[in-house]
Amino acid sequence: MAPEPQTLRIGVLHGPNLNLLGSREPELYGTTTLAEIEDRLRAAAEAKGAHLEFFQSNHEGTLIDWVQSARGRFQGLLVNAGGLAHTSVALRDALVAVSIPFVEVHLTNPYAREPFRRTSHLADVAVGLVCGFGPLSYLLGLQGLIAHLRAG
């Protein structure tokens, strides 16, 4: 009989304006709230033997502090940096510094939007990138991250 896999600890980072999901530009982001996304993620993670911890902030420095505090607490991160994915070298540097594998997720497809959204400062240091599937982007990203960590 194979041993039970160790419970993975995964941090989920939500960047600026994601607290407004459900009411913010529903034509782009849908009507699903951040709490609903987190509930779905939590259930999916539990089914795969993972525990999630969520964090959201509208402040770049606070997000960086959280990333720095993640070292030793999490085996992986799921990161939706929102608009900071396109602007924050400092957030990228923090993610590189902690050496925790992460998957970048976006609800919309940045490559089908404004040109300034087509560059991510995170994508080339991420394990993977999932975008354009609405809330399903988070679930697909989680699935990929867990598979990556288990293959480890």
- pLDDT (tens digit, 9 = 90+) per residue, 135-144? 999 999 999 9
Is residue 7 within 8 A of residue 48, CB to CB? The reply is no
Do the domain assignments include residue 135? yes
Report helix, strand or coil for 53: strand
Do the domain assignments include residue 119? yes
- Catalytic residue from among 14, 29, 121, 138: 29
Catalytic annotation present for 29: yes
State the pLDDT at residue 107. Answer: 96
Do the domain assignments include residue 64? yes
- Catalytic residue from among 14, 51, 59, 106: 106
Do the domain assignments include residue 139? yes
State the pLDDT at residue 5. Answer: 63
Do the domain assignments include residue 88? no
Read off φ and ψ for residue 11, nearest 5 degrees: -95, 140
What's 126's domain CATH number? 3.40.50.9100
Q: Tell which residue, 62, 122, 55, 59, has the closest CA to residue 87.
A: 122
CB atoms within 10 A of CB 75: 20
Do the domain assignments include residue 104? yes
Is residue 80 within 8 A of residue 14, CB to CB? The reply is yes
pTM comes to 0.94
Q: What is the mean pLDDT of residues 5-23?
A: 95
Whether 3 shows a pLDDT value over 90: the answer reads no
Do the domain assignments include residue 81? no
Is residue 30 within 8 A of residue 94, CB to CB? The reply is no
Catalytic annotation present for 14: no
Domain that holds residue 16: 8-76+98-151
When mean pLDDT is compared across 22-26, 59-63, 147-151, the lowest value belongs to 22-26
User: What's the structural domain count of the chain?
Assistant: 1
Do the domain assignments include residue 28? yes
Structure tokens at 129: 């990138």
Q: Tell which residue, 83, 39, 33, has the closest CA to residue 63.
A: 83
